[in-house]
Copies of this chain bind each other. A is one copy, B any other.
């Protein structure tokens, strides 16, 4: 149970930083450690029905009687403000006060819901994140972003609420099905593409071991993902500017995800968004290497879609882009690559205006049968 620890520095946090602990097969011994770290606090666990079925909640709690909320059904469909209210009311019913420690065990939805509920409960209680999916271990558990859907749109609600600690046990990834597992790896491809060409090469070279869920490779992946993300977050914790590079592939990605009625997983949609960004780069003259081909090939090896699925209309996507939460005057900005491992920065901006006709042309090109 060798563990690596990264510290994320957050200037705006009162505490200043939080640790990310990375290892494998330590979930069953984590609870006493959490109790040691926060002796004055009363724990409340948020998890989902998948985690319960996979036995991970039992592995964490080992029979300890801790009040909890189990999100059911699991997944995006429950990432809704109604679930946040249900979690808050469950904490109230357990007579929990401001001395609560919320522990979120699960994937992206659990992390978002747990983090958001912690942020809004009695003016904020600390949250410990224990991500159990590729996407959550690479991305959503780190950085303090929470997003919750309204009846009208995705991530209408949200707070920046940095975790008190993140515990990543890569062993938990073995419970994922192939589709979830691979889609989550898209965030690793994203990190490599925006920040580290050498890491991109590592992903290409170790694709078989990655697909085989080799323990050492999984730990290395988790470490590199956290290192890259933590560096970006520390520089810009509340996304005033440079942190936007983490949105690479997410602008069209969110629209496609939403338009698919969430039939596409987040990672699958981001894969499509990354390819779209590549085409936009070419249309805008940001060319000079074979990165689009390499990204496309790597995503295909991970079984990810690289075209917009039939049944999603251009009009729907354009409407969703106009409602993008980062839209300025009803049109979103796009993060683009300058070369593999580096995002394009112009006039100190990392997200760029792109003419609507260029976006429409790329949608056409990626939709045509």
CB < 8 Å neighbour of A324 from B85, B97, B151:
B97
Q: Which of B92, B153, B157 contacts A152 (CB 8 A)?
A: B92
The chain B residue sitting closest to A147, CB to CB, is: B123
User: Main SS of chain A's interface residues?
Assistant: loop
Residue of B nearest to A158 (CB): B123
- B interface footprint on A127-152 (CB within 8 Å = 1, 0 otherwise): 00000000000000000011100111
Question: What residue in chain B is nearest A13 (Cβ atoms)?
Answer: B12
Most buried by B among A14, A147, A159: A159
Interface stretch of the complex, out of A27-35, A59-67, A114-122, A271-279: A114-122
Q: Of the candidates B120, B147, B156, B158, which one forms a contact with A157 in the assembled complex, judged by CB atoms under 8 Å apart?
A: B120
The distance in angstroms between the C-alpha atoms of A146 and B89, with both chains bound, is 18
Is A291's beta carbon under 8 Å from chain B?
Answer: no
Closest B residue by C-beta to A327: B97
Residues in B with CB closer than 8 Å to A99 are 328
CB <8 Å contact, A89 and B12? no
Chain B hits for A98, CB < 8 A: 325-326
Contact A92 B153 (CB under 8 A): yes
Smallest beta-carbon distance A9→chain B, Å: 15
Is A316 among interface residues, defined by CB-CB distance under 8 A?
no
The complex places the Cα of A313 from the Cα of B350 at a distance, in Å, of 62
Question: What is the 8 Å Cβ interface bit string for chain A, positions 105-121, against chain B (1 contact, 0 not)?
Answer: 00000000000100111
Q: Which of A55-91 contact B (CB under 8 A)?
A: 81, 85, 88-89
User: How would residues 153 to 194 of chain A score, 1 for a CB under 8 Å from any chain B CB and 0 otherwise?
Assistant: 101111110000000000000000000000000000000000
A residues contacting the other copy or chain, number (CB 8 A): 43
Question: Does A227 reach chain B (CB closer than 8 Å)?
Answer: no
Across the interface, do A123 and B150 meet the contact criterion of CB distance under 8 Å?
Answer: no
> In this assembly, does A367 line the interface, its C-beta being within 8 Å of a C-beta of chain B?
no
Q: Does A322 contact B (CB under 8 A)?
A: yes
B81 touches A85 (CB 8 A): yes
Asked whether A330 is an interface residue with its Cβ less than 8 Å from the other chain, the reply is yes
A124 at the interface (CB under 8 A from B): yes
Evaluate whether A322 and B120 lie within 8 angstroms (CB atoms) in the complex, with A12-B14, A88-B150 already known. no
A158 with B120: in contact, given A12-B14, A325-B98 (CB under 8 Å)?
yes
List of B residues within 8 angstroms of A81 by Cβ: 85, 88
A323 at the A/B interface (Cβ < 8 Å)? yes
Query: Which of these, B12, B123, B147, B150, contacts A145 with CB under 8 Å?
Result: B123
| Whole-angstrom CA separation of A328 from B98 in the bound complex | 8
The 8 closest A-B pairs by CB, nearest first: A123-B158, A122-B325, A97-B327, A92-B152, A120-B157, A92-B156, A123-B160, A97-B325
Could you give 22 example pairs across A and B, Cβ below 8 Å? A14-B240, A81-B85, A89-B152, A89-B156, A92-B150, A92-B152, A92-B153, A93-B152, A97-B324, A99-B328, A119-B159, A120-B157, A120-B158, A121-B156, A121-B157, A122-B157, A122-B158, A123-B145, A123-B159, A123-B238, A124-B159, A124-B238
